[in-house]
RNA sequence: GGCGCCGUACCCAAGUGGUAAGGGAGAGGUCUGCAAAACCUUUAUUCAGCGGUUCGAAUCCGCUCGGCGCCUCCA
C-alpha cells in the first residue's frame, strides 16, 4: 500500500520497520471539554488507517494518548470547582462514549499524561545532559538552535518564524523566543509534581515523545494527527525525541486535513460549532455522521453541512436496502457463476483503491458498483444459499473497513407487532385496503416499515 | 512578509496526458390496490477564467480570479 508521508511530502510505499508489525501513535484528545466534530474527523481518518492496516494483515500496536494536564484542563477544572483528575475523567469518559457512537476501534494502548511524569522527567534529564535543554526561572526549555533538523517536517525555516503575540511573562526569559517549554515551573494554585528536575508540570509536547517511545520504542512507523499539529507540536516532538536518542523518531507522518462547517472554520463565535452530542440530540444518526466523516479523502478539507449528513443517510439507506434484499430474496435453485465473478472483481477494485493512499471515494464506488451488480441478480433470479453467503461475506469485508452496516439478523419479537402484520396480510387478501394502510401507518410510527413484494411482505426498521 | 492547499453538474466527490467513476437530490417511466424497494431513461461537448505546450489537456506550463490553512492555543 502507498501512503502520503508529510516528512517527505510524497506518497510512498508503506514498509514498516518490522515486516508484519506496525507501530502507530496518534495524538489523542485534550480532555478539557467535549470533543467537537472536527476532532472526530481526524479520529475517523485514523480509524480508517488502522482498519486498513488490520485488513492488510498487519499486527498493529496503536497508541493514543490522553492529555489530562495542560493550561485549559487546569483552568476549566478550577472554574468547575473540581480536582484536575475528577474534571478530566469526566471528559475522557465522554470522549470514549462518543468514540463508541462513531464505532472508532479502541487503540491497543491509551496512556494518560499524568501517569507518565517519570518517563517525561527521564527524557528531560537526557536533553539536559546533551545540552539541548536549559533551565530558566524554574522552567526548562528546549534549545532549538542546537537541533539542526528543526523545521524539516513543517518546511519552516526557524530564522523566518514570526514571534507570536501571546508570549507568557515567564517566557520572556528564554534564550531564544522560539525555544519551547519542556517543563513548566509551578504557579500559585496550580497542580504540580515534585520531581528530580524540580517541581512543575510537563509542557504539551513532552508527553507525546515520552509515551510514544515508552510503548513503541525509540523508532516507530506511523505518527498521526491533524494538519495543525505539524507545527509546532510534531516538529517539537521530533526535536525532543531525536535530540534525546540520536535516532530517527518516526518513519511516516500521517496528517488529516481539517473539517469546515458551511465552508468556514468552526468557531463558537460563528455559531457553527458542533459536538457529536449536539448532532445526536438533534436526531442525526451517529453512523451517518461516521459515514460522512470517512467518505472524504483524509488529505482534503471536508465541508460539514447538515445537508451532507442527510445525503450520507440516504447513501447508507441504499446499502441497507440492498442487504435486506440479499438476506430475504427468493432462494435460487442453483449457484450463479456471475456472483463470484462480481464479488472478486469489486473486491479487487475496493482493495486497490484503499492501497492507493486510502482512496476512500474510489473504494466506495466499488462498494456501490457491487451493490448494483448483485442487486440485479438478487432481484430477478434470487440467490442460492452459497451465493447468499458470498454476497454477505463480500459486504462484511467492505464493512470491516467502513463499519456502517449491521449484519445480525434483526427479528421482531413483539407479539403485538407480529399480530398486526398478520392482520394486515389478511386485510389485503380481503381487499380491505383501508385497514391494511391503517396498520402500515401505525407500524411506521413505531419505526417499522412494511414493504410488499411478490415474495410476500418484508419489513425494516426506520430508526 | 514566509510556507502550503484547494476550485469537477443542484449538492458531495473520483479521476493527474487518451476523450468525465460513484453517491445524494430532482424529473419522466416500469412494477404495485396504494406505498416502499428495485429497475429503466434523464441532469457537465465539459472540469474557476484566459493563454501556452501537445496529434490529444480536467490532468503539464504561465498568468488572472475566488476560497482555505500554517507561521509557538489548535484535530
pLDDT above 70: residue A88: yes
Provide residues 12-71 of A with CB closer than 7 Å to any strand B atom: 27, 29-30, 36, 38-39, 41-42, 71
Cα–Cα nearest to A34, from A82, A91, A84, A79: A91
* Phi, psi of A11, rounded to the nearest 5 degrees: -75, 135
pLDDT confidence of residue A173: 59
> Which strand B nucleotides have any atom less than 7 A from protein CB atoms?
1-6, 11-15, 21-25, 32-40, 67-75
Range in A83-92, A363-372, A392-401, A445-454 the model is least confident about: A445-454
Pick the residue with more confidence: A403 or A11? Answer: A403
pLDDT band at A170 (very low <50, low <70, confident <90, very high): very low
Pick the residue with more confidence: A157 or A65? Answer: A65
- β partners of residue A201: A184
Nucleotide nearest to A29 (CA to C1'): B75
Using CA atoms, how far apart are residues A330 and A378, in angstroms rounded to an integer?
8
Nucleotide nearest to A178 (CA to C1'): B72
Q: What is the pLDDT of residues A211-261, one digit of tens each?
A: 999 999 999 999 999 998 998 999 999 999 999 999 999 999 999 998 988
Q: Domains of chain A by range and CATH?
A: 2-256 (3.40.50.620), 309-402 (1.20.120), 415-461 (no CATH)
pLDDT confidence of residue A166: 40
Share of chain A above pLDDT 90, in %: 77
Q: What is the pLDDT of residues A378-417, one digit of tens each?
A: 988 999 999 999 999 999 999 999 999 999 877 888 899 9
Q: What is the pLDDT of residues A135-152, one digit of tens each?
A: 998 999 999 989 988 988
* Phi, psi of A157, rounded to the nearest 5 degrees: -90, 115
What is the overall mean pLDDT for chain A? 91
pLDDT confidence of residue A155: 84
pLDDT confidence of residue A164: 46
pLDDT above 90: residue A41: yes
Using CA atoms, how far apart are residues A235 and A222, in angstroms rounded to an integer?
15
pLDDT confidence of residue A389: 95
pLDDT confidence of residue A272: 80
pLDDT confidence of residue A453: 87
pLDDT confidence of residue A61: 98
pLDDT band at A161 (very low <50, low <70, confident <90, very high): low
pLDDT confidence of residue A456: 85
Provide residues 86-115 of A with CB closer than 7 Å to any strand B atom: none
pLDDT confidence of residue A261: 87
Provide residues 119-148 of A with CB closer than 7 Å to any strand B atom: 144
Q: Between A415-429 and A433-445, two packed helices, what is the crossing angle to 10 degrees?
A: 150
Tell the burial category of A282 from Cβ atoms under 10 Å away from its Cβ (0-12, 13-18, 19+). exposed
Provide residues 362-381 of A with CB closer than 7 Å to any strand B atom: 362, 364-365, 368-369, 372, 375-376, 379
- As a rounded value in angstroms, the CA-to-C1' distance for A295 and B21 is 15
Using CA atoms, how far apart are residues A289 and A293, in angstroms rounded to an integer?
6
pLDDT band at A273 (very low <50, low <70, confident <90, very high): confident
Residue A356 is classified by DSSP as B
Average pLDDT over residues A351-373: 95
Amino acid at each position: 500500500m502507498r501512503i502520503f508521508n508529510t516528512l517527505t511530502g510524497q506518497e510512498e510505499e508503506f514498509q514498516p520497520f518490522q515486516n508484519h508489525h506496525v507501530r502507530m501513535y496518534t495524538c489523542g484528545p485534550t480532555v478539557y471539554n467535549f470533543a467537537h466534530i472536527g476532532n472526530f474527523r481526524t479520529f475517523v481518518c485514523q480509524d480508517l488507517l488502522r482498519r486498513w492496516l488490520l485488513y492488510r494483515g498487519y499486527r498493529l500496536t496503536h497508541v493514543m494518548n490522553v492529555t489530562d494536564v495542560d493550561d485549559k484542563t487546569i483552568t476549566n477544572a478550577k472554574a468547575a470547582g473540581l480536582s484536575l483528575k475528577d474534571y478530566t475523567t469526566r471528559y475522557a469518559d465522554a470522549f470514549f462514549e462518543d468514540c463508541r457512537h462513531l464505532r472508532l476501534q479502541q487503540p491497543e494502548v491509551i496512556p494518560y499524561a499524568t501517569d507518565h511524569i517519570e518517563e517525561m522527567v527521564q527524557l528531560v534529564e537526557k536533553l539536559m545532559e546533551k545540552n539541548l535543554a536549559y533551565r530558566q526561572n524554574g522552567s526548562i526549555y528546549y534549545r532549538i538552535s542546537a537541533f539542526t533538523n528543526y523545521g524539516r517536517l513543517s518546511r519552516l525555516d526557524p530564522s523566518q518564524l514570526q514571534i507570536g503575540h501571546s508570549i507568557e511573562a515567564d517566557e520572556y526569559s528564554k534564550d531564544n523566543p522560539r525555544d519551547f517549554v519542556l517543563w513548566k515551573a509551578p504557579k500559585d494554585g496550580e497542580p504540580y509534581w515534585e520531581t528530580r528536575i524540580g517541581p512543575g508540570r510537563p509542557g504539551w509536547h513532552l508527553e507525546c515523545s515520552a509515551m510514544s517511545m515508552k510503548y513503541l520504542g525509540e523508532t516507530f512507523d506511523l505518527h498521526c494527527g491533524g494538519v495543525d499539529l505539524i507545527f509546532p507540536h510534531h516538529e517539537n516532538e521530533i526535536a525532543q525525541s531525536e535530540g534525546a536518542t540520536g535516532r530517527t523518531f518516526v518513519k511516516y507522518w500521517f496528517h488529516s486535513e481539517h473539517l469546515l462547517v458551511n465552508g468556514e472554520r468552526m468557531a463558537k463565535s460563528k455559531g457553527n460549532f458542533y459536538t457529536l452530542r449536539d448532532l445526536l440530540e438533534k436526531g442525526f444518526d451517529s453512523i451517518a455522521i461516521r459515514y460522512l466523516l470517512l467518505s472524504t479523502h483524509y488529505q482534503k478539507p471536508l465541508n460539514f453541512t447538515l445537508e451532507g449528513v442527510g445525503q450520507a443517510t440516504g447513501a447508507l439507506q441504499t446499502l441497507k436496502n440492498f442487504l435486506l434484499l440479499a438476506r430475504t430474496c427468493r432462494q435460487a435453485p442453483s449457484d450463479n457463476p456471475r456472483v463470484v465473478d462480481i464479488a472478486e472483481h469489486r473486491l479487487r477494485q475496493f482493495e486497490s483503491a484503499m492501497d492507493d493512499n486510502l482512496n476512500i471515494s474510489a473504494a466506495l464506488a466499488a462498494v456501490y458498483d457491487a451493490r448494483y451488480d448483485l442487486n440485479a441478480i438478487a432481484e430477478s433470479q434470487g440467490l442460492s444459499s452459497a451465493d447468499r453467503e458470498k454476497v454477505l461475506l463480500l459486504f462484511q469485508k467492505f464493512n470491516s473497513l467502513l463499519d456502517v452496516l449491521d449484519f445480525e439478523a434483526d427479528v421482531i419479537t413483539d407479539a403485538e407487532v407480529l399480530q398486526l402484520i398478520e392482520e394486515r396480510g389478511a386485510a389485503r387478501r380481503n381487499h380491505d385496503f383501508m385497514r391494511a394502510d391503517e396498520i402500515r401507518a401505525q407500524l411506521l410510527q413505531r419505526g417499522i416499515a412494511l414493504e410488499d413484494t411478490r415474495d410476500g411482505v418484508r419489513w425494516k426498521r426506520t430508526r
